[in-house]
Chains A and B, each alone.
Chain A
Amino acid sequence: MAINSRKIKDNIVRGLIYICVGISVALLVGIIVYVLVKGLPAVNWSFLTSVTSVLKGTVGIAGNIVNTLIIILITMLIATPIGVGSAIFLNEYAKPGKLVTIIEFATETLSGIPSIIFGLFGMMFFGEKLGFGYSILTGSFTLIIMVLPLITRNSQEALKTIPKSYRDGAIGLGSGKWHMIRTILIPSAMPGIITGAILAIGRIVGESAALLFTAGSAKLLPKGLEALLDKPFQSGGTLTIQMYLSATSEGDFVTAFGIAVVLLVIVLGINLGTKALTKHFDVTRKD
């Protein structure tokens, strides 16, 4: 009798576990299928290469794609060196103590701050105090702070896996510390650094709250090289911002789902790509 009721209880719990697993997986599949079904009809060549214009009668997101790319470029160009440099300091120079504790606490805190707060801060500091206004630069500066912890942590993990013998060998051969970092550590940590960078790009692509009040929402394509070079100082809405506006104030769900498809493809591609990358490098390192 006791054993029997135990069995029944076990099976009920088992059933609950399977239901929960089912929910988690079904959510992902459901979201992907729903977005594809609703959005794929809107996605075609002209959607990706033209700008929405009542005059020409076109619907497109080319301007938003360009804005997104510029924001990624500027953010990563600045955030990657800082993040890697910070990881190198923490792992190679700093001795355990107050400073390291404070830096690590700051990095933890940054990664726990929600993006809307970054957005508010970016608007107040970069936009108003430093006078960049609603511009791609303001957005990029805001995102730099946001993705910094991600890059720092991944680079740190990568540096930690490099055997101590690499360092001892280089120093023993008479290399200076900087030379050793440049020629031995950074190349060896490259896969981890790249993984962190790609994850950061994924975060930027999906980000919306931090950009709404910093980078603005303009969606026109810059005309000519000069306009392109001036673009960082102009307002520019990314794909996510345009999707948000399409779905809310503009009420244009066709465009919203079209952008959702593009976002989903990019984000899932990035995720699967980094996974393949880490797997590949794990294998090569073990050999």
Chain B
Amino acid sequence: MSKKAIIEKTAKGIFLICAVIAIFAVCAITFYMFVKGTPALKEVGVFDLLFGNVWKPTASEPSYGILYIILASLVGTAFSILIGVPIALLTAVFLSEMAGKKIGSIVGGAVELLAAIPSVIYGLIGMMVLNPIMYKFEKIIFENDSSHQFTAGANMLSAIIVLAIMILPTVISVSTSSLKAVLDNIRAASFALGATKIQTIFKAVIPSAKSGILTGVVLGIGRALGEAMAINMVAGGAVNIPLPFNSVRTLTTQIVSEMGYASGLHRQVLFTVGLVLFIFIMIVNFILLKARKRGESNGNK
């Protein structure tokens, strides 16, 4: 083999190794999440762990039920999507259908910057602005309720609002590009039938961009499920049933706040919490893949 051929072969080999690292990383992460996350399931019992509702890891007779933690993650994600997606979709409609070039680039730029702000800053502002407001409501609502544990405003509702804000940029940017990709003759046909601009947008353009918007929503779900630091700062520090004014722990915040000091079985259970989160995220990823594929076969991304 000539020297040149050897160089070519080596170069190709090195590039191949670089490309394969991503596969290795995914496999290693999956492997570790399962290997570390399953022992506690055996030790505590699958049912007691996943569907138990008492979390007392440091008691003399410890109990490791993470049902409320799972529920808090699901409730938080669901409601943040319910609040965030309509706002995001209407903003996307503005960016794609109504804004002039100048206003569009200002609003679009603002949305991009919103995505760049680190989550700890969202958390800090949530702590300083949102929590005191929530505390005021809490004091009024539970004034005569002695059974309520006061949380100083660090509650599920705060977490939902922070999450709803944090998913905005993702959903807006994906929806905007899919709305922009809708062919102009669809709009023209709708106008020609006598529809107004708003009717055209909601009856013709949005339905055509459906799969792209759905992709954005699923991305938002992934983002909300996986967000850790910001909600850890605003959602309080106790495991409770996810009611609006209860302090709650989600899958992510449970890991963030207890991994630092947990040991033994407690630590293993936290790995299981990580595994549950990982499985949820993998389901979201899988749906995303399907949605993308369907979008591509429909001809618009």
Binding site for B on A (CB under 8 A): 6-7, 9-10, 13-14, 16-18, 20-21, 23-25, 27-29, 31, 34-35, 38, 81-86, 88-90, 92-94, 102-103, 105-110, 112-118, 120-121, 123-125, 145, 148-149, 152, 176-178, 181, 202, 205-209, 212-213, 240, 243-244, 247-248, 253, 256-257, 260, 263-264, 267-268, 270-271, 275
Write the nearest CB–CB distance from B251 to chain A, whole angstroms: 9
What residue of chain A has the Cβ atom nearest to residue B259's Cβ? A213
Interface SS of chain B: helix
A114, B129: Cβ atoms closer than 8 Å: no
Chain B stretch 165-200: residues in CB contact (< 8 A) with chain A: 165, 168, 172, 196-199
With an 8 A cutoff between CB atoms, is B229 at the interface?
A: yes
A148, B22: Cβ atoms closer than 8 Å: yes
Write the nearest CB–CB distance from B278 to chain A, whole angstroms: 6
A sample of 26 inter-chain contacts (CB < 8 A) reads A20-B86, A23-B87, A23-B91, A25-B107, A31-B121, A86-B18, A86-B19, A86-B22, A89-B19, A94-B19, A102-B23, A113-B29, A114-B225, A116-B255, A117-B29, A117-B278, A120-B274, A123-B259, A177-B12, A205-B118, A208-B118, A244-B120, A247-B127, A267-B116, A268-B116, A271-B116
Closest 10 interchain pairs by CB? Answer: A114-B226, A85-B18, A206-B118, A89-B15, A20-B90, A178-B11, A89-B19, A86-B19, A209-B228, A116-B228
Write the nearest CB–CB distance from B38 to chain A, whole angstroms: 13
Q: Which residues of A contact B259 (CB under 8 A)?
A: 120, 123, 212-213
Q: Which residues of B contact A114 (CB under 8 A)?
A: 222-223, 225-228, 252, 277, 281
B18, A14: Cβ atoms closer than 8 Å: no
Per the bound structure, the CA–CA distance linking A85 and B19 in Å amounts to 7
With an 8 A cutoff between CB atoms, is B202 at the interface?
A: yes
A243, B120: Cβ atoms closer than 8 Å: yes
Known: A24-B88, A271-B116. 20 other contacts (CB 8 A): A17-B90, A21-B90, A27-B165, A31-B114, A34-B129, A88-B15, A106-B22, A106-B26, A114-B225, A114-B226, A114-B277, A115-B228, A117-B29, A124-B32, A148-B22, A208-B228, A243-B120, A243-B124, A264-B117, A264-B121
Q: Which residues of B contact A213 (CB under 8 A)?
A: 259-260
Given known A-B contacts A113-B29, A117-B226, A181-B11, A275 and B109 have beta carbons under 8 A apart: yes
Q: Which residues of A contact B285 (CB under 8 A)?
A: 108-109, 112
Q: How large is the interface on B (under 10, 10 to 19, 20 to 34, 35 or more residues)?
A: 35 or more
Given known A-B contacts A31-B117, A89-B19, A268-B116, A178 and B8 have beta carbons under 8 A apart: yes
What residue of chain B has the Cβ atom nearest to residue A253's Cβ? B128
Per the bound structure, the CA–CA distance linking A213 and B219 in Å amounts to 26
Q: Which residues of A contact B90 (CB under 8 A)?
A: 16-17, 20-21
A116, B107: Cβ atoms closer than 8 Å: no
Q: Mark B230-242, 1 if CB is under 8 A from A, else 0.
A: 0011000000000
Chain B stretch 2-52: residues in CB contact (< 8 A) with chain A: 4, 7-8, 11-12, 14-23, 25-26, 28-29, 32-33, 36
Per the bound structure, the CA–CA distance linking A208 and B25 in Å amounts to 20
Per the bound structure, the CA–CA distance linking A287 and B145 in Å amounts to 71
Per the bound structure, the CA–CA distance linking A53 and B202 in Å amounts to 59
Write the nearest CB–CB distance from A180 to chain B, whole angstroms: 10
Interface hub of A6, A25, A29 (most chain B Cβ within 10 A): A25
Q: Mark B198-225, 1 if CB is under 8 A from A, else 0.
A: 1100100000000000000001001101
Q: Which residues of B contact A92 (CB under 8 A)?
A: 15
With an 8 A cutoff between CB atoms, is B110 at the interface?
A: yes
Given known A-B contacts A112-B288, A209-B252, A120 and B33 have beta carbons under 8 A apart: yes
Per the bound structure, the CA–CA distance linking A28 and B117 in Å amounts to 9
Q: Which of A18, A93, A176, A263 contacts B118 (CB 8 A)?
A: A263
A112, B284: Cβ atoms closer than 8 Å: yes
With an 8 A cutoff between CB atoms, is B300 at the interface?
A: no
Write the nearest CB–CB distance from A243 to chain B, whole angstroms: 5
B11, A177: Cβ atoms closer than 8 Å: yes
Write the nearest CB–CB distance from A48 to chain B, whole angstroms: 18
